Amino acid sequence: MKKNVTTKKSLLALMLALMLIFTACSSGEATDKTVNSAAGNETSNESSASSDILYIGMTNAPASFNVINTADIAGRWVQRFMYDSLLTMPTTTTFEPGLADSFETEDDQNFTIKLNEKAVWSDGTPVTADDVVFTLNYIANPEVETARGTNIAMLEGTTAAGKLEEGLTEIPDLVAVDDKTVTLKTKNPVDPAYIKEFLGFELMMLPKHIVESIPAKEYGNSDACNNPTVTSGPYTFVQYQNGSYVELAANPDYYKGEPELKKVFIKIMNGTNLVTEFQSGGIHMAAGGGIGVVPVQDLDILRNDPNIQVDANPGFNSQFMLINNTKYNQKLRQALAYGINRQLIVDNLLKGEGEVLSSVYALASPYMNEDLKPIEYNPEKAKELLAESGFDTSQEIKLIVPIGNKVREQSANLIEQDLEAIGLKVTQTTLDFPTVMATVKTHDFDMCLMGFGYTVEPDMSTYYASTGSMNFGQINDAHLDELIEKGTSLTSFEERKAVYDEFQQYMQDNTFILGLYSDYQIAAKNKILNGGITSYWSGSLADIQNWNLNGAQ
């Protein structure tokens, strides 16, 4: 009997040992599944099981992490996790402290910026006034390649392109008064909202102690730029698996408080997989804003899921056809406007979740010219204009289409059919987004479908001024430049609105670029997420340090 008891105890001990081994193996498997799912290799509910890891779906890969030269909105959005701007902009009409506690003026021309006393770079170095002065002067340096020049073009001593005037080595009246105070001066009095958005919110600051030792022409290709280890934002860079995911970690020394979510995986996938990942629990939210696009035909799937919250709002991001203005004259560009059935795109592809653009501003903009109606679809008028243009219709027009945004890809087919119906010969070329950006920057293209993420501030000089850093279509029109300059020189909304109304009419009359549609911004998230995309997409990350996964499901 005693022997039987001993045997039973031995068997029990063996069983317990086997259970522990099995449990340990299972735990390891779950961890591996979580990492693999983050990398986009597996779809699993376990990928979102942790209460402090956020998984985000994004359909466009970031083209760059260069905060002063990234033109794509996907790259800019990812950067905001890592780098802070002087101000945040949680709504279209409000500015709140970022690296700066205050950004004030008494005369709309001389501004004083007071920095947060607790703000430090992720290596522990304090964020100082020298960093701000260095960043602005760095952008203005003629040797530095940047897409942010027009963000500082209002400052005294800079050209319309935001570069230093000849003979200057630094921006005059840009002064580090002390470690936490900066003063600067604009060329003329400006609307405070203009400089607060363009310079205060749109610019992210560089760490002087890291960047100053890198030759100006080499920064874009440097490790400090592409694998940044010294940043100022709520999250720090861990790794980027090209075309798969970006991994970020919470910054424990963040001046607004350590983020509640300790890791962020931004997973890059197509729209169909975005919906599948939502359903399986593989992601908590879509990036929105044209870079994390839920296919409109799948919206009802998410809307009918009790665990998912879906909101649709008019947005500032819009889809355009870039036109190489050096190849195609005004008559031909106008023929494109009459020849493409843009309302069909909105009705059939967007299922009504959007609007046809009359010019360059969408409904969300307070500066939209409400009296200006979109050019109506009229293929006969298009044929007349095409004939007047003198264009050789035997020439092939190459239309570049970025992959990732399903509606945009589908719209390309409709556009091709419409243009061929009026007598043009069109061939599509599909490319990934980073390749598209590299191509349009060289101006080596005919036409290209592209989404732009506009600001509340109506200044469009970056895109349409002859000196604009993102003037991909090579627009060069003296009157347009005059309107752009006049719009930035006024300080009241009413005066500026009148100028921008004229600007929109002139843009439509000349069709320097063809506005296609603005799709409503779809904000989709799992209800366990407290946080996520708001009605003003660009400002959605203002309080990301407070986001958590403690919501009710």
**Model pLDDT for residues 252-269, shown as the tens digit of each residue:** 999 999 999 999 999 999
Question: What is the separation of C-alpha 548 from the centre of its chain, rounded to a whole number of angstroms?
Answer: 23
Q: Given this model, what pLDDT does residue 36 score?
A: 43
Query: By C-alpha distance, which of 417, 391, 447, 411 is closest to 339?
Result: 417
pLDDT at 552 over 90: no
> Which CATH superfamily groups domain 84-221?
Dipeptide-binding Protein; Domain 1 (3.90.76.10)
**Residue carrying the six token digits 């990301």:** 544
Tokens read off for 76: 């800019």
Residues 276/302, Cβ–Cβ less than 8 Å = no
Domain 1-61+233-314+522-553 falls in which CATH fold? D-Maltodextrin-Binding Protein; domain 2 (3.40.190)
Any residues with CB less than 8 A from the CB of 221 and at least 6 apart, and which?
none
Residue at token pair 């800019």: 76
Banded pLDDT at 51 (limits 50, 70, 90)? confident
CA–CA separation, 520 and 182 (whole Å): 39
> What pLDDT sits at residue 455?
84
pLDDT of residue 49: 59
Mapping DSSP to helix (H, G, I), strand (E, B) and coil, where does residue 323 land?
A: strand
Q: What percent of the chain has pLDDT over 70?
A: 91
- pLDDT > 60? residue 232: yes
DSSP string, 93-108: TEEEESSEEEEEESSS
Q: Which tokens sit at 403?
A: 């992959």
* pLDDT, tens digit (0-9, with 9 covering 90-100), for 307-351: 999 998 888 889 999 999 999 999 999 999 999 999 999 999 999
Rounded to whole angstroms, the Cα distance separating 127 from 381 reads 59
Tallying the residues shown for the chain, one arrives at 553
| Beta-sheet pairing, 53-58 with 285-286 | parallel
Nearest to 73 by CA among 83, 86, 63, 84: 63
**Which tokens belong to 202?**
């749109």
Quick one: average pLDDT of 271-275? 91
At CA 242, angle to CA 239 and CA 246, rounded to 5?
A: 40
Tokens 């430049």 sit at which residue? 481
With b for 16 or more beta-carbon neighbours within 10 A and e for fewer, the 445-461 pattern comes to bbbbbbbbbbbbbbbbb
Lowest average pLDDT, out of 10-14, 84-88, 392-396, 406-410, goes to 10-14
In the DSSP assignment, the letter for residue 314 is -
The residue with tokens 């360059």 is: 360
Mean pLDDT of 522-528: 94
Structure tokens at 242: 């090209």
Identify the pLDDT of residue 71. 82
Distance separating alpha carbons of residues 424 and 394, to the nearest angstrom: 8
pLDDT-derived band at 415 (thresholds 50, 70, 90) equals very high
- The predicted model gives 218-226 an average pLDDT of 94
Distance, in Å, from the CA atom of 235 to the CA atom of 204, rounded to the nearest integer, reads: 14
Average pLDDT taken over every residue of the chain? 90
12-46 burial, b if ≥16 CB within 10 A, otherwise e? eeeeeeeeeeeeeeeeeeeeebbeebbbbebbbeb
pLDDT band at 541 (very low <50, low <70, confident <90, very high): very high
List, as one string, the DSSP characters of 180-234: TEEEEEBSS---HHHHIIIIIIS-B---HHHHTTS-GGGGGGSHHHHS-----SS
Name the CATH superfamily, with its identifier, for domain 317-519: Dipeptide-binding Protein; Domain 3 (3.10.105.10)
Question: What is the residue extent of each domain of the chain?
Answer: 1-61+233-314+522-553, 84-221, 317-519
d(CA 280, CA 284): 10
What pLDDT was estimated at residue 284? 98
Distance, CA of 421 to CA of 386 (rounded, Å): 12
Which ranges constitute the DSSP H helices of 62-172? 73-82, 129-140
| pLDDT(24) > 50 | no
Q: What is the value of pTM for the model shown?
A: 0.76
Q: Which residues contact 277 (CB under 8 A, 6 or more apart)?
A: 43, 55, 57, 267, 269, 283
Predicted confidence at residue 423, as pLDDT, reads 97
Statement: residue 516 has pLDDT above 80 = yes
Mean pLDDT value of segment 453-467? 89
User: Quick check: 494 and 404 in contact, CB under 8 A?
Assistant: no
What local confidence, expressed as pLDDT, does residue 14 receive? 37
In the predicted structure, residue 462 carries a pLDDT above the cut 50: yes
Helix (H, G, I), strand (E, B) or coil at 67: coil
Q: What is the pLDDT of residue 28?
A: 35
Residue 1 has pLDDT above 70, yes or no: no
pLDDT tens string 148-203: 999 999 999 999 999 999 999 999 999 999 999 999 999 999 999 999 999 999 99
Q: Tell me, what's the pLDDT at 34?
A: 39
Greatest alpha-carbon pair distance for the chain in Å reads 109
Q: DSSP per residue over 366-381, as a string?
A: TT--TTPPPPPP-HHH
User: Which is more confidently placed, 126 or 292?
Assistant: 126
pLDDT of residue 349: 94
Q: How far, in whole angstroms, is CA 149 from its chain's centroid?
A: 17
Average pLDDT value for residue range 2-21: 38
